[in-house]
Structure 1
Protein backbone atom coordinates (compact mmCIF):
# COMPACT_ATOMS: atom_id res chain seq x y z
CA UNK A 1 0.00 0.00 0.00
CA UNK A 2 1.25 3.50 -0.87
CA UNK A 3 2.38 5.28 2.32
CA UNK A 4 1.13 8.66 0.99
CA UNK A 5 -2.47 7.47 0.69
CA UNK A 6 -4.91 7.69 3.56
CA UNK A 7 -6.38 4.42 4.66
CA UNK A 8 -9.62 3.75 2.83
CA UNK A 9 -11.84 3.96 5.94
CA UNK A 10 -10.44 7.36 6.95
CA UNK A 11 -10.93 8.64 3.42
CA UNK A 12 -14.56 7.44 3.46
CA UNK A 13 -15.18 9.20 6.79
CA UNK A 14 -13.62 12.43 5.49
CA UNK A 15 -15.74 12.30 2.34
CA UNK A 16 -18.91 11.53 4.32
CA UNK A 17 -18.25 14.47 6.64
CA UNK A 18 -17.51 16.75 3.68
CA UNK A 19 -20.87 15.87 2.08
CA UNK A 20 -22.72 16.95 5.24
CA UNK A 21 -20.47 20.00 5.79
CA UNK A 22 -21.28 21.19 2.28
CA UNK A 23 -25.00 20.59 2.83
CA UNK A 24 -25.08 22.47 6.16
CA UNK A 25 -23.16 25.39 4.64
CA UNK A 26 -25.60 25.57 1.73
CA UNK A 27 -28.69 25.41 3.92
CA UNK A 28 -27.37 28.05 6.32
CA UNK A 29 -26.87 30.28 3.28
CA UNK A 30 -30.61 29.94 2.63
CA UNK A 31 -31.23 31.55 6.01
CA UNK A 32 -28.86 34.49 5.65
CA UNK A 33 -25.68 32.99 7.06
CA UNK A 34 -22.88 33.06 4.51
CA UNK A 35 -21.79 29.66 3.28
CA UNK A 36 -18.26 30.23 4.64
CA UNK A 37 -19.65 30.83 8.14
CA UNK A 38 -21.98 27.86 7.65
CA UNK A 39 -18.97 25.79 6.65
CA UNK A 40 -17.17 26.83 9.82
CA UNK A 41 -20.13 25.77 11.95
CA UNK A 42 -20.37 22.44 10.11
CA UNK A 43 -16.65 21.72 10.54
CA UNK A 44 -16.95 22.51 14.25
CA UNK A 45 -19.98 20.24 14.44
CA UNK A 46 -17.86 17.23 13.48
CA UNK A 47 -15.00 18.08 15.86
CA UNK A 48 -15.06 16.09 19.07
CA UNK A 49 -13.00 18.72 20.89
CA UNK A 50 -13.14 22.50 21.33
CA UNK A 51 -11.32 24.52 18.69
CA UNK A 52 -9.20 27.67 18.91
CA UNK A 53 -9.35 30.45 16.32
CA UNK A 54 -5.97 29.28 15.00
CA UNK A 55 -7.26 25.74 14.51
CA UNK A 56 -10.35 27.06 12.77
CA UNK A 57 -8.24 29.32 10.54
CA UNK A 58 -6.10 26.37 9.48
CA UNK A 59 -9.11 24.12 8.92
CA UNK A 60 -11.28 26.59 6.99
CA UNK A 61 -8.60 28.69 5.30
CA UNK A 62 -9.95 32.08 6.38
CA UNK A 63 -7.89 34.90 7.89
CA UNK A 64 -7.87 35.16 11.67
CA UNK A 65 -9.89 38.44 11.70
CA UNK A 66 -12.50 36.87 9.39
CA UNK A 67 -12.54 33.79 11.59
CA UNK A 68 -13.07 35.93 14.68
CA UNK A 69 -16.00 37.73 13.00
CA UNK A 70 -17.50 34.42 11.88
CA UNK A 71 -17.29 32.92 15.37
CA UNK A 72 -18.86 36.05 16.85
CA UNK A 73 -21.78 35.75 14.40
CA UNK A 74 -22.26 32.10 15.34
CA UNK A 75 -22.15 33.05 19.02
CA UNK A 76 -24.80 35.74 18.45
CA UNK A 77 -27.24 33.12 17.21
CA UNK A 78 -26.24 30.81 20.08
CA UNK A 79 -24.96 27.89 18.03
CA UNK A 80 -21.31 28.27 19.03
CA UNK A 81 -20.16 28.80 22.61
CA UNK A 82 -16.85 29.90 24.11
CA UNK A 83 -15.63 27.53 26.79
CA UNK A 84 -12.79 27.64 29.27
CA UNK A 85 -9.93 25.16 28.89
CA UNK A 86 -7.69 24.57 31.88
CA UNK A 87 -4.08 25.47 31.19
CA UNK A 88 -4.77 27.41 27.99
CA UNK A 89 -4.75 31.15 27.47
CA UNK A 90 -6.51 30.88 24.12
CA UNK A 91 -10.25 31.00 23.64
CA UNK A 92 -11.83 27.67 22.76
CA UNK A 93 -15.17 27.20 21.04
CA UNK A 94 -17.64 24.37 20.57
CA UNK A 95 -20.56 24.03 18.20
CA UNK A 96 -24.09 23.17 19.27
CA UNK A 97 -24.49 19.54 18.27
CA UNK A 98 -28.17 19.15 19.08
CA UNK A 99 -30.01 20.33 15.97
CA UNK A 100 -33.24 20.70 17.92
CA UNK A 101 -31.51 23.26 20.16
CA UNK A 102 -29.86 24.80 17.11
CA UNK A 103 -33.24 25.13 15.37
CA UNK A 104 -34.88 26.62 18.46
CA UNK A 105 -32.07 29.14 18.99
CA UNK A 106 -31.62 30.14 15.36
CA UNK A 107 -35.25 30.52 14.37
CA UNK A 108 -36.60 31.45 17.79
CA UNK A 109 -34.41 34.55 17.93
CA UNK A 110 -35.37 35.64 14.43
CA UNK A 111 -39.09 34.92 14.85
CA UNK A 112 -39.25 36.68 18.22
CA UNK A 113 -37.70 39.79 16.67
CA UNK A 114 -40.06 39.59 13.67
CA UNK A 115 -43.13 39.42 15.91
CA UNK A 116 -41.97 42.27 18.17
CA UNK A 117 -41.06 44.60 15.30
CA UNK A 118 -44.28 43.96 13.44
CA UNK A 119 -46.56 44.24 16.47
CA UNK A 120 -45.00 47.62 17.24
CA UNK A 121 -45.48 48.74 13.61
CA UNK A 122 -49.09 47.50 13.60
CA UNK A 123 -49.84 49.48 16.76
CA UNK A 124 -48.36 52.65 15.27
CA UNK A 125 -50.23 52.17 12.01
CA UNK A 126 -53.52 51.50 13.79
CA UNK A 127 -53.35 54.84 15.62
CA UNK A 128 -52.86 56.67 12.33
CA UNK A 129 -55.60 54.75 10.54
CA UNK A 130 -58.00 55.26 13.43
CA UNK A 131 -57.31 59.02 13.28
CA UNK A 132 -58.12 59.05 9.54
CA UNK A 133 -61.41 57.24 10.19
CA UNK A 134 -62.42 59.57 13.02
CA UNK A 135 -61.60 62.82 11.23
CA UNK A 136 -64.88 64.08 9.77
CA UNK A 137 -63.01 66.19 7.18
CA UNK A 138 -61.73 63.08 5.37
CA UNK A 139 -63.50 61.71 2.31
CA UNK A 140 -65.49 58.52 2.70
CA UNK A 141 -63.21 56.67 0.25
CA UNK A 142 -60.19 57.40 2.48
CA UNK A 143 -62.07 56.24 5.57
CA UNK A 144 -63.01 53.01 3.76
CA UNK A 145 -59.40 52.45 2.77
CA UNK A 146 -58.28 53.03 6.37
CA UNK A 147 -60.96 50.55 7.55
CA UNK A 148 -59.74 47.93 5.05
CA UNK A 149 -56.16 48.43 6.23
CA UNK A 150 -57.27 48.00 9.84
CA UNK A 151 -59.01 44.74 8.98
CA UNK A 152 -55.90 43.46 7.20
CA UNK A 153 -53.71 44.48 10.14
CA UNK A 154 -55.96 42.46 12.44
CA UNK A 155 -55.03 39.34 10.45
CA UNK A 156 -51.38 40.31 10.55
CA UNK A 157 -51.57 40.81 14.34
CA UNK A 158 -53.02 37.30 14.71
CA UNK A 159 -50.05 35.93 12.78
CA UNK A 160 -47.59 37.83 15.01
CA UNK A 161 -49.29 36.51 18.17
CA UNK A 162 -49.19 33.00 16.73
CA UNK A 163 -45.48 33.46 15.98
CA UNK A 164 -44.88 34.54 19.57
CA UNK A 165 -46.68 31.39 20.77
CA UNK A 166 -44.51 29.29 18.48
CA UNK A 167 -41.35 30.88 19.89
CA UNK A 168 -42.60 30.42 23.45
CA UNK A 169 -43.35 26.75 22.75
CA UNK A 170 -39.83 26.30 21.37
CA UNK A 171 -38.24 28.02 24.37
CA UNK A 172 -40.26 25.93 26.83
CA UNK A 173 -39.84 22.69 24.87
CA UNK A 174 -43.63 22.36 24.58
CA UNK A 175 -43.34 22.15 20.80
CA UNK A 176 -41.73 18.75 21.19
CA UNK A 177 -44.91 17.47 22.86
CA UNK A 178 -46.76 18.40 19.67
CA UNK A 179 -43.98 17.36 17.30
CA UNK A 180 -41.92 14.68 19.10
CA UNK A 181 -38.26 14.16 18.28
CA UNK A 182 -38.59 10.60 17.10
CA UNK A 183 -36.95 8.48 14.47
CA UNK A 184 -40.12 7.23 12.84
CA UNK A 185 -38.98 8.39 9.39
CA UNK A 186 -35.30 7.50 9.75
CA UNK A 187 -33.52 4.59 8.15
CA UNK A 188 -33.09 1.55 10.34
Structure 2
Protein backbone atom coordinates (compact mmCIF):
# COMPACT_ATOMS: atom_id res chain seq x y z
CA UNK A 1 0.00 0.00 0.00
CA UNK A 2 1.47 3.36 -0.97
CA UNK A 3 1.78 6.33 1.37
CA UNK A 4 -1.23 8.16 -0.06
CA UNK A 5 -3.45 5.08 0.30
CA UNK A 6 -2.21 4.68 3.87
CA UNK A 7 -3.18 8.29 4.68
CA UNK A 8 -6.69 7.67 3.33
CA UNK A 9 -7.09 4.48 5.40
CA UNK A 10 -5.81 6.22 8.55
CA UNK A 11 -8.24 9.12 8.06
CA UNK A 12 -11.07 6.60 7.66
CA UNK A 13 -9.98 4.73 10.78
CA UNK A 14 -10.14 7.92 12.80
CA UNK A 15 -13.60 8.74 11.45
CA UNK A 16 -15.00 5.25 12.11
CA UNK A 17 -13.58 5.25 15.65
CA UNK A 18 -15.76 8.32 16.26
CA UNK A 19 -18.74 5.99 15.76
CA UNK A 20 -17.54 3.76 18.59
CA UNK A 21 -15.62 1.15 16.63
CA UNK A 22 -12.51 -0.38 18.13
CA UNK A 23 -9.20 0.10 16.27
CA UNK A 24 -9.32 -3.12 14.26
CA UNK A 25 -12.98 -2.77 13.27
CA UNK A 26 -12.35 0.83 12.20
CA UNK A 27 -9.35 -0.28 10.16
CA UNK A 28 -11.36 -3.04 8.45
CA UNK A 29 -14.29 -0.73 7.61
CA UNK A 30 -11.93 1.98 6.37
CA UNK A 31 -10.00 -0.51 4.24
CA UNK A 32 -13.19 -1.91 2.71
CA UNK A 33 -14.84 1.49 2.23
CA UNK A 34 -11.94 3.00 0.32
CA UNK A 35 -11.17 -0.15 -1.68
CA UNK A 36 -12.91 -0.11 -5.09
CA UNK A 37 -13.32 -3.91 -5.18
CA UNK A 38 -14.22 -6.66 -2.75
CA UNK A 39 -11.41 -8.14 -0.66
CA UNK A 40 -10.89 -11.65 0.67
CA UNK A 41 -10.35 -12.12 4.37
CA UNK A 42 -6.71 -12.92 3.62
CA UNK A 43 -6.32 -9.64 1.72
CA UNK A 44 -7.91 -7.74 4.60
CA UNK A 45 -5.51 -9.40 7.05
CA UNK A 46 -2.53 -8.54 4.85
CA UNK A 47 -3.71 -4.95 4.35
CA UNK A 48 -4.41 -4.31 8.04
CA UNK A 49 -1.46 -6.22 9.45
CA UNK A 50 -3.71 -8.28 11.72
CA UNK A 51 -4.01 -12.06 11.86
CA UNK A 52 -6.62 -13.94 9.89
CA UNK A 53 -8.26 -15.12 13.14
CA UNK A 54 -8.52 -11.53 14.43
CA UNK A 55 -10.12 -10.42 11.17
CA UNK A 56 -12.49 -13.39 11.22
CA UNK A 57 -13.69 -12.53 14.75
CA UNK A 58 -14.57 -8.98 13.70
CA UNK A 59 -16.35 -9.74 10.42
CA UNK A 60 -19.60 -11.09 11.90
CA UNK A 61 -20.42 -7.98 13.93
CA UNK A 62 -19.35 -5.75 11.04
CA UNK A 63 -21.69 -7.65 8.71
CA UNK A 64 -24.58 -7.43 11.17
CA UNK A 65 -24.30 -3.76 12.03
CA UNK A 66 -22.08 -1.91 9.55
CA UNK A 67 -23.41 -3.26 6.27
CA UNK A 68 -20.35 -5.26 5.29
CA UNK A 69 -21.46 -7.64 2.54
CA UNK A 70 -20.08 -11.18 2.24
CA UNK A 71 -19.70 -12.32 -1.34
CA UNK A 72 -19.06 -15.81 -2.69
CA UNK A 73 -17.33 -16.09 -6.05
CA UNK A 74 -18.00 -19.02 -8.34
CA UNK A 75 -15.22 -21.58 -8.19
CA UNK A 76 -13.70 -20.15 -5.01
CA UNK A 77 -14.08 -21.29 -1.43
CA UNK A 78 -12.94 -17.90 -0.12
CA UNK A 79 -15.29 -15.35 1.32
CA UNK A 80 -14.98 -11.84 -0.07
CA UNK A 81 -16.18 -8.67 1.60
CA UNK A 82 -17.43 -5.35 0.31
CA UNK A 83 -18.85 -2.15 1.79
CA UNK A 84 -21.27 0.08 -0.07
CA UNK A 85 -19.60 3.33 -1.06
CA UNK A 86 -22.52 5.57 -0.17
CA UNK A 87 -22.01 6.92 3.36
CA UNK A 88 -25.60 8.19 3.60
CA UNK A 89 -26.97 4.70 2.96
CA UNK A 90 -24.52 3.15 5.41
CA UNK A 91 -25.48 5.56 8.19
CA UNK A 92 -29.23 5.24 7.56
CA UNK A 93 -28.90 1.44 7.60
CA UNK A 94 -26.85 1.62 10.81
CA UNK A 95 -29.42 3.84 12.54
CA UNK A 96 -32.33 1.72 11.27
CA UNK A 97 -30.79 -1.50 12.58
CA UNK A 98 -30.00 0.04 15.95
CA UNK A 99 -33.47 1.56 16.22
CA UNK A 100 -35.12 -1.73 15.22
CA UNK A 101 -33.19 -3.70 17.85
CA UNK A 102 -33.80 -1.06 20.52
CA UNK A 103 -37.52 -0.93 19.64
CA UNK A 104 -37.87 -4.70 19.84
CA UNK A 105 -36.21 -4.83 23.26
CA UNK A 106 -38.18 -1.83 24.50
CA UNK A 107 -41.49 -3.30 23.33
CA UNK A 108 -40.63 -6.59 24.99
CA UNK A 109 -39.57 -5.31 28.40
CA UNK A 110 -40.89 -1.83 29.08
CA UNK A 111 -44.71 -2.08 28.95
CA UNK A 112 -44.98 -4.39 31.97
CA UNK A 113 -42.32 -2.41 33.84
CA UNK A 114 -44.09 0.89 33.17
CA UNK A 115 -47.42 -0.63 34.19
CA UNK A 116 -45.93 -1.90 37.44
CA UNK A 117 -44.41 1.53 38.17
CA UNK A 118 -47.81 3.14 37.50
CA UNK A 119 -49.45 0.80 40.00
CA UNK A 120 -46.75 0.95 42.67
CA UNK A 121 -45.03 4.34 42.36
CA UNK A 122 -45.55 6.10 45.67
CA UNK A 123 -42.46 8.16 46.37
CA UNK A 124 -40.81 10.91 44.35
CA UNK A 125 -37.98 8.64 43.15
CA UNK A 126 -40.35 6.04 41.67
CA UNK A 127 -42.51 8.74 40.05
CA UNK A 128 -39.39 10.28 38.48
CA UNK A 129 -38.27 6.85 37.27
CA UNK A 130 -41.71 6.28 35.70
CA UNK A 131 -41.47 9.65 33.95
CA UNK A 132 -38.00 8.79 32.59
CA UNK A 133 -39.27 5.46 31.23
CA UNK A 134 -42.30 7.06 29.59
CA UNK A 135 -40.14 9.82 28.09
CA UNK A 136 -37.72 7.20 26.79
CA UNK A 137 -40.54 5.47 24.92
CA UNK A 138 -41.73 8.78 23.45
CA UNK A 139 -38.22 9.75 22.42
CA UNK A 140 -37.69 6.40 20.72
CA UNK A 141 -40.91 6.93 18.76
CA UNK A 142 -39.71 10.41 17.80
CA UNK A 143 -36.40 8.96 16.63
CA UNK A 144 -38.25 6.42 14.46
CA UNK A 145 -40.21 9.28 12.87
CA UNK A 146 -36.98 11.21 12.29
CA UNK A 147 -35.48 8.19 10.54
CA UNK A 148 -38.54 7.88 8.32
CA UNK A 149 -38.20 11.54 7.28
CA UNK A 150 -34.48 11.04 6.61
CA UNK A 151 -35.22 8.01 4.45
CA UNK A 152 -37.81 9.98 2.48
CA UNK A 153 -35.38 12.87 1.92
CA UNK A 154 -32.36 10.71 1.10
CA UNK A 155 -32.95 10.36 -2.67
CA UNK A 156 -33.32 14.13 -3.05
CA UNK A 157 -30.19 14.80 -0.99
CA UNK A 158 -28.19 12.20 -2.91
CA UNK A 159 -29.37 13.70 -6.19
CA UNK A 160 -28.24 17.17 -5.06
CA UNK A 161 -24.85 15.82 -3.97
CA UNK A 162 -24.42 14.00 -7.30
CA UNK A 163 -25.18 17.24 -9.19
CA UNK A 164 -22.63 19.13 -7.08
CA UNK A 165 -19.96 16.50 -7.78
CA UNK A 166 -20.33 16.75 -11.57
In the superposition, the TM-score normalised over structure 2's length comes to: 0.79
Which of 56, 66, 76 is the equivalent residue of 2:44?
56
Query: CA 1:78–1:27 in structure 2 vs 1: closer, same or farther (change >3 Å)?
Result: closer
SS, match of residue 48 in structure 1: coil
SS, match of residue 94 in structure 1: strand
Q: CA deviation at 1:78?
A: 4.5
**1:86-125 alignment runs, 5 A limit:** 86-125=74-113
Which residue pairs with 1:138 in the alignment?
A: none
Q: Does 1:166 align with 2:154?
A: no
Structure exhibiting the larger radius of gyration computed from Cα positions: 1
Higher share in helix? 2
Q: Does 1:180 align with 2:157?
A: yes
Q: Deviations over 1:53-107 (max 9, x none)?
A: 1111111111111111122221111421111223322112112211112111222
Which residue pairs with 1:65 in the alignment?
A: 53
Q: Give aligned pairs, total.
A: 164
Which residue pairs with 1:6 in the alignment?
A: none
Contact 2:16–2:29 (CA under 8 A) maintained in structure 1:
no
Distance 2:107 2:25 in 1: 31
Which residue pairs with 1:131 in the alignment?
A: 119
Q: CA deviation at 1:143?
A: 5.1
SS, match of residue 69 in structure 2: strand
RMSD between superposed Cα atoms in Å: 2.9
